[in-house]
Copies of this chain bind each other. A is one copy, B any other.
Amino acid sequence: MNGAESLVQTLTEQGVDICFANPGTSEMHFLRALENPRMKSVLCLFEGVCTGAADGYYRMKGTPASTLLHLGPGLANGLANIHNAKRASSGMVNIVGEHSAAHLKYDPPLTSDIEGLARPLSHWVRRVESPDAVAWDVAAAVSKASEHSGQIATLILPGDTSWQETSARIDVPQAVAYAKTPDAARVEHIARVLRSGEPTLIVLAGRSTRGRALELAGRLKSATLCRLATQFFTARIERGAGRVTLERIPYAVDAAIDYLKGFRHIITVETTEPIAFFSYPGKPSLLKSPGTTVHALAEVGEDGTAGLEMLVDALGAQHAPVLHQTRADATAPVGALNPASIAQALASALPENCILVDESLTTGRETMGLTVGAAPHDLINNMGGSIGYGTPVATGAALACPDRRVFCMIGDGSAMYTIQSLWTQARENLNVTTIIFANNSYAILKAEYANMGAGAPGERALAMIDIDRPRIDWLAMAKSMGVPGVAVNSADAFHQAMTHSVHESGPCLIEVRL
């Protein structure tokens, strides 16, 4: 067995059985090792798709995927979506091919400081020193990536460690993931806060926006009259009819301050206190009122669900009733496309148990709040703010959950970043409906230009914001990569296209012409 075969075998033995790959010459032995039938390899035509797909896979599966990247530049192409994954606490094992040590000293063209490129966005970086070290190093990488919360592990694999034979079979320990339980005294303190009856907001994030954590939060709400919210962006949230609904702290600074000002206490679960996404002249970064106190029930990396359980117990709220979201009117909309009719189309057409990946910056902000009464679904947001996360994350989510349809709502500007995802969706026949909100503009920036105090954009500034010359032909774009597409310019047509996509297998694209 050579180093590459040891690597793939160890990955699968540690539970990592999918690899999003874009290989090059230095990874040929890895490619050969991918003949191992326990490993599913998924080819992506750009590395940003690999890393984003690994993020999407983790969000739905809860265990890390691997990526195969070609030296420093291949890693560099994947970094933006590694950033987004890191901010979403998604675990990931990146394998980065590298020149053999004997070759590296001549500084061949593809040489770069791979550790230097990896460190700013990885929690763990290691260079394999020999074929025999591969198994240990891979096990350590998977163990790191599997921590709660998930971590970015990057393993650098020189060519010779890949092609040379291992000298012995090395048994490595199985990766075990566990989360720290919150401190009991802290829970007791927070129970006193909730008993005080003072206006309190619980902000949920991480793994506490799903399943049992949501139910526990619902008990706290009915027992103490606190309110429940998420940050504007959440890595993954279970929402819709039959679930405990969480409010959403607004994105805009003024609106968020206004929303938060009534609360005397903010209790955070697997997140920090609300802060502004960007800084604006004359506006604060911290969004809470000066008189508000923040209490961390669970830090990031701690087990928020356990914290909520302890809190419910401390308050004797084990049997408090839970209010669940009712199903909204599911009538199909007619007429013009606007935030309300788009939301109505979504609420009506989204099938039970679907996955919604949202990167529709402008359209989505006005729409998403109106879909809370849709059939139960998972909603995924961009946690890192680097656009181009949506189509790859949808790709990975679809591979993690082949029986569930994925809807990727994305603005045209964002979609262009990693549009190569469509090809992988076609190749793997993934059940992804990509919804392009085509306003032919980085529309969000027009608002941000004013928010920044830069006034109204002039002609030259507008030329850097509008992407309407030429207009992107989304149907041609979809066709180019083997994805069927349809364009709609009314709410009824949008609804019809959504419904149609649910009943066909494989990917499709809907261009919503705004």
**Which residues of chain A have a CB within 8 Å of any CB of chain B?**
21, 23-26, 28-29, 31-32, 34-35, 37, 41, 43, 45-46, 48, 71-74, 76-77, 79-80, 83-84, 87, 99-100, 102-103, 106-110, 112-113, 116-117, 119-121, 159-160, 163, 233, 272, 275-279, 281, 285-286, 383-386, 388, 413, 416-417, 419-420, 423, 426-427, 444-445, 448-449, 451-455, 457-461, 463-465, 467, 469-474, 476-477, 479-482
Contacts and interface: CB of A to CB of B under 8 A. Distances in A.
A371 B48 CA distance: 36
Contact of A278 (B37, B108, B445): B108
Contact of A102 (B28, B285, B413, B473): B285
A449 B83 contact: no
B472 A476 contact: no
A43 B480 contact: no
Copies in the complex: 2
Contacts of A427: 469-470
A224 B166 CA distance: 53
A84 B109 CA distance: 8
10 contacts: A29-B454, A31-B457, A31-B464, A43-B467, A45-B413, A45-B416, A103-B285, A160-B281, A416-B420, A470-B481
Contacts of A463: 41, 43
Contacts of A23: 445, 464-465
Closest A-B pairs by Cβ, 7 of them: A470-B482, A103-B279, A73-B386, A76-B79, A116-B120, A477-B480, A476-B480
Contacts of A87: 109
Contacts of A420: 416, 419
A417 B24 CA distance: 14
Contacts of A460: 34-35, 37, 41
A495 B455 CA distance: 52
A473 B113 CA distance: 37
A120 B109 contact: no
Given A45-B417, A163-B281, A452-B163, A458 B117 contact: no
Given A445-B25, A452-B29, A159 B279 contact: yes
Contact of A110 (B34, B384, B423, B444): B384
B386 A110 contact: yes
A426 to B, nearest CB: 5
A445 B27 CA distance: 10
Contacts of A102: 279, 285
Contacts of A461: 31-32, 34-35
Given A46-B416, A461-B35, A279 B476 contact: no
Contacts of A413: 45
Contacts of A452: 25, 28-29, 159, 163
B106 A32 contact: no
Given A80-B76, A480-B472, A464 B109 contact: no
Contact of A473 (B275, B384, B479): B479
Contacts of A454: 28-29, 31-32, 163
A462 B510 CA distance: 32
A2 B84 CA distance: 32
A285 B110 CA distance: 14
Given A423-B470, A477-B481, 19 more contacts: A21-B464, A28-B448, A31-B454, A31-B457, A32-B455, A32-B461, A34-B461, A41-B463, A46-B388, A72-B120, A103-B276, A108-B277, A108-B278, A110-B277, A110-B278, A159-B279, A163-B454, A423-B467, A426-B470
Given A445-B24, A460-B35, A286 B106 contact: yes
B106 A275 contact: yes
Contacts of A278: 25-26, 99, 103, 108, 110, 159
